[in-house]
């Protein structure tokens, strides 16, 4: 039997940073297994957990979950006493899902196309799920401008996911640093759980260099 209910597969230089933060917000015991990109992530053992050969992934009481947004939402639901999601009957559950899915879908697609310098023909915006990069960024700005957090005064797993994406995309220069984005990321990254996750990731990255 594992010592904790949660086994987390990570690499310190990856999107798994989101889950490091989420797990620190959750405050439940977990075991982290660091995998390198070309070796451990492509073994039959790990491909049985994530056939994509990517991190992050978790195994929670034997249940595999991959995809950063899904892991955040799943963990929040498994530990409802931690208040990291609006309750199932709350109207804010709609807002919560809306922006989790928006960032995992349209925002990531638009930003990926921009990062790869792929031309986005203006006349194809109706068939593209993200429409145009401008529309996606304007919508995202609204989501983080109305209140302290995505769901008002309650910090949720959606803030872990959306906050991580905005921080990461701004850092890599693919999302313009609008004042609303900077203010939201500043609020989010001041949280003790974020700070702890940063320390954990930095230590793991340093150990990897050795
Ligand atoms: N859709 C996945 C993407 C995960 C992903 O692309 N992870 C990258 C690191 S940032 C990875 O593991 N790459 C290793 C590889 O593909 O070989 C998610 O959102 O969790």
Rg over alpha carbons for the chain, rounded to the nearest Å, is: 17
**Residue owning the nearest CA to atom 8 of ligand 1:** 54
Q: Assign residue 74 the CATH number of its domain.
A: 3.40.30.10
Query: Whole-angstrom Cα distance, residue 98 to residue 93?
Result: 8
Q: Give the predicted TM-score (pTM) of the model.
A: 0.97
pLDDT at position 192 is 98
Asked whether residue 1 is domain-assigned, the answer is: no
Q: Assess whether the C-beta atom of 12 lies below 6 angstroms from ligand 1.
A: no
Q: Count of domains in the chain? A: 2
Q: What is the Å distance from ligand 1's center to 52 Cα?
A: 8
**Which tokens is 169 given?**
């995309």
The predicted structure's pLDDT at residue 1: 59
Residue to mutate, 16, 55, 172, ligand 1, most ligand atoms under 8 Å from C-beta: 55
The answer on 202 and 167 residing in a single domain is: no
Ligand 1 neighbourhood includes 56 CB (under 6 angstroms): yes
Asked whether residue 98 falls in the same domain as residue 186, the answer is: yes
39 C-alpha vs ligand 1 centroid, how far in Å? 14
Task: Note whether residue 17 is domain-resident.
Answer: yes
CB of residue 41 inside a 6 A radius of ligand 1: yes
For residue 130, the SS3 value is coil
Q: Which domain holds residue 12?
A: 6-83+193-209
Q: Outline where the chain has alpha helix (H).
A: 17-26, 44-47, 68-78, 92-102, 108-115, 133-143, 157-171, 179-189, 192-209
* 186 and 200 housed in the same domain: no
pLDDT the model gives residue 127: 95
Contact call for residues 204 and 12 (beta carbons, < 8 A) = yes
> For a pocket test of ligand 1, which of 35, 46, 54 has the largest count of ligand atoms closer than 8 A to its C-beta?
54
Tens of each residue's pLDDT in the chain, 210 residues: 568 999 999 999 999 999 999 999 999 999 999 999 989 999 999 999 999 999 999 999 999 999 999 999 999 999 999 999 999 999 999 999 999 999 999 999 999 999 999 988 889 999 999 999 999 999 999 999 989 999 999 999 999 999 999 999 999 999 999 999 999 999 999 999 999 999 999 999 999 887
């Amino acid at each position: 039997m594992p010592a904790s209910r949660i086994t987390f597969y990570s690499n310190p230089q990856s999107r798994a940073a989101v889950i490091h933060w989420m797990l620190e917000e959750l405050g439940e015991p977990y075991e982290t297994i660091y995998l390198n990109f070309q070796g451990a992530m492509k073994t039959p053992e790990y491909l049985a957990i994530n056939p994509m050969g990517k991190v992050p992934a978790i195994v929670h009481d034997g249940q595999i979950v991959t995809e950063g947004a899904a892991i955040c939402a799943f963990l929040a639901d498994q530990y409802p006493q931690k208040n990291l999601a609006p309750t199932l009957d709350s109207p804010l559950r709609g807002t919560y899902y809306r922006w989790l899915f928006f960032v995992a879908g349209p925002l990531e697609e638009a930003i990926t196309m921009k990062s790869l310098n792929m031309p986005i023909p203006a006349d194809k915006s109706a068939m593209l799920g993200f429409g145009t990069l401008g529309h996606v960024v304007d919508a995202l700005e609204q989501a983080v401008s109305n209140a302290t957090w995505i769901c008002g005064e309650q910090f949720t797993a959606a803030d872990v996911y959306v906050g991580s994406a905005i921080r990461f995309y701004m850092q890599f220069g693919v999302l313009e640093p609008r004042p609303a984005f900077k203010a939201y990321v500043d609020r989010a990254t001041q949280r003790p759980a974020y700070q702890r996750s940063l320390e954990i990731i930095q230590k793991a990255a340093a150990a990897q260099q050795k």
